Amino acid sequence: MLDWPPQIPVVSISSLFFFRQLGTFGAWHLLQPAPLMPPLVIDLRKTEDARDVVHRAVQALAEGKLVAFPTETDYVIAASARDATAVGRLIELSPQRPAEPRVTLALKSADEALDWAPRLSAIGRRISRRCWPGPVAIIVADEHQESLVHRLPLGARSGIVGAGRLRLRVPGHPMLADCMRMLAGPVALAEPCAAETPPVTALDVMALADGQLALVIDDGRARYAQPHTTIEVDDYDFRIVHPGIVSEETMRRLSSLMVLFVCTGNTCRSPMAETIFRQLVAERLECRPEEIQSQGVVVASSGIAAWGGGKASVGATEVMAETGGDLSGHESQPLTENLVRQADLIWTMTAAHRTAILAQFPEAGGRVAMLSPDRMDVIDPIGGTVATYRKCAQQIRALLVARLATILLPGFKQKG
């Protein structure tokens, strides 16, 4: 809060007498700001209890001080985003780049991204879920009135928002993550650099901080000691803004749409769904089924009670062959936490499959649905005749045609 009107300092008679005795130069020297105190440096590698370091860092941030933290790629300077004065000091330490915010907003996890960028596109959500925590910063449009950025002090917003954009990051170092969990409110980061070379040691960041640091957390040389990758996302795609440790090729893979089909044993219904979906996507993208991954679409299947390495059933293999599909090399796999975390769409064959997934992975609720929009179970052909498998495949195909019409495929915008 602005302190207005300013208070006039009270100088006692004895003080005035003291200044007269000192003379003009002595009095001028006393009134100058004291030299900045060197920061407290804590070596994490020699610390017995990291919790004490966390409490010290959180207290410093809460008091409006600047703290240097290690990340997986470099060292950053942090301040409470709720403190406009502290963010202003960060701005002075941050390089000015065209059409970018001066400072970065650090998030606790990818789950927070929509709080700050409510209109984050599907590709932005995919990348954030797969890359965070990690060495990728994402620039997004700040255009939604419900964004939490509008609750920050105006002085802080001037550095966190630039050219209508926010830069978000979830660093992968546990010390900064632990501090953010304990601090009320978000954290802003300055990422100072010299000639585009990031500080990769505590001494590096201290040299760039212009004496502004109160505390430095030293964890030795940063693990990767390279710049992180900065991208900007829109509704359909992303572009590399600042190249870094994560290559564009890797970013392309991480931005792919992944669709996962789930049944019980991963030998009948879900492998057929995977095969048919590949064919339908290939038709839409005008490529061969084996090429859809290079077009940004990954398809997989699994079973909630599957054993690894099982072959597709004879009936499923025969019926898929009738339409040009090949299940001869299929190997069943169980549904795992990693598959659930990576998948953008998880389509189940029955209501029971969906219930089982949500019971084990409730955080995936927004991405799990029955293949049938009308919540009708896909018939189970196991043990049935080829005709039963054929009927099941026809049901799956009809449901997939309807589903495909509702999703935006990577690469389709350019062809549409």
**Total residues found in the chain within this entry:** 416
Specify whether 208 is located in the same domain as 302: no
The three-point CA angle 93-129-374 to 5° equals 145
**Confidence (pLDDT) at 37:** 79
Instruction: State the pTM of this model.
Output: 0.81
Say what the pLDDT of residue 26 is: 43
Q: What is the per-residue pLDDT for 142?
A: 83
Q: Are residues 190 and 297 in the same domain?
A: no
| d(C-alpha 122, C-alpha 258), whole Å | 12
Both 143 and 201 in one domain: the answer is yes
Question: What mean pLDDT is predicted for residues 77-101?
Answer: 95
CATH number at residue 182: 3.90.870.10
- Answer with the one of 252, 275, 296 that is the final residue of a domain: 252
My answer on whether 120 and 184 are in the same domain is yes
Same domain, 67 and 48: yes
Q: Tell me, yes or no, whether 295 and 233 share the same domain.
A: no
Whether residues 351 and 369 share a domain: the answer is yes
Q: Of 252, 267, 297, which residue sits at a domain end?
A: 252
**Could you tell me which of 283, 252, 243, 234 has the C-alpha nearest to residue 397?**
283
**Residue 391 resides in a domain:** yes
Statement to judge: residues 110 and 243 lie in one domain: yes
Residue 16 has pLDDT above 50, yes or no: no
Flag whether 31 is in a domain. no
For residue range 198-234, what is the model confidence (pLDDT) as tens digits?
A: 999 999 999 999 999 999 999 999 999 999 999 999 9
CA atoms within 13 A on the CB side of 185: 19
Q: Report percent pLDDT > 70 for the chain.
A: 89
Structure tokens at 304: 């909630």
pLDDT score recorded for residue 143: 74
Q: What is the pLDDT of residues 297-311, one digit of tens each?
A: 999 999 999 999 999
Q: What is the pLDDT of residue 236?
A: 87
Give the model's pLDDT for residue 194.
Answer: 66
Looking up residue 313, the CATH number of its domain turns out to be 3.40.50.2300
Q: Are residues 265 and 245 in the same domain?
A: no
Mean pLDDT of 93-118: 94
Separation between Cα atoms, residue 276 and residue 390, nearest integer Å: 12
Look up the domain containing 100 and give its range: 40-252
Q: Are residues 271 and 248 in the same domain?
A: no
Question: Which stretch of 23-32, 279-288, 400-409 has the lowest confidence by average pLDDT?
Answer: 23-32
Residues 141 and 211 in one domain: yes
Backbone φ/ψ region at 250: left (φ over 0), alpha (ψ -120 to 50), beta: alpha
Asked if residue 260 and residue 224 are part of one domain, the reply reads no
pLDDT grade for 411, boundaries at 50, 70 and 90:
low
Confidence of residue 196 (pLDDT cuts 50, 70, 90): confident
Catalytically active residues, by annotation: 263, 269, 380
What residue ranges in 71-145 does DSSP mark as E strands? Answer: 75-80, 104-106, 136-141
